Amino acid sequence: MIWNSPAEFFAMGGYALYVWGSFGVCAIALAIEPILVGKRRSLILNSLRRQRLADEIENESSREGSPT
C-alpha cells in the first residue's frame, strides 16, 4: 500500500486540488449524463402515453357520438 493514512491519500502529495478537481468533475459529469438521458426518455414516454390515452378517448366518444 502506498498510503500510510486516509489523510495522506486525500492530500495527494500536495496535488489534492488538481487530482480531485479532475476526478471529481469526471465523476459528476458521468453521473449526470445518464440521468439527463433518462429524463429525456421519460419525457417522450409520457408524451406517447398521453397521445395513446387521447386516441382512446377520441375513439370511444366518436363511437358513442355518431351511431352510423
Partner 1 sequence: MGDHGGFEDSAGVNNKLIHWFKYASPQSFYPLAGKLIPWFWALTAVFGIAGLWISFFVAPTDAQQGEGYRIIFVHVPASWMSMFIYIVLATWAGLGLALNTRLSGMMATALAPTGALMAFLSLWTGAFWGKPMWGTWWVWDARLTSELILFFLYLGFIALQAAIDDARRADKAGAILALVGVVNVPIIYFSVKWWNTLHQGSSVSMTKSPSMAQTMLWGMLLMALCFWMYSIAVALMRVRAIILEREAHTEWVKELAEVKS
CA 32 to CA 30: how far, in whole Å? 6
Distance CA 30, CA 43 (A): 21
Give the side-chain half-sphere CA count within 13 A for 50: 6
Identity at 29, one-letter amino acid code: A
Site string for partner 1, 45-64 (x = CB under 8 A): x-xxx-xx--x---------
**Nearest distance from residue 57's CB to partner 1, in Å?**
15
Closest approach, Cβ 6 to partner 1, in A, equals 12
Contacts to partner 1 by CB under 8 A: 1-3, 9, 12-15, 17-19, 21-23, 25-26, 29-30, 33-34, 37-38, 40-41, 44-45, 47-49, 51-52, 55
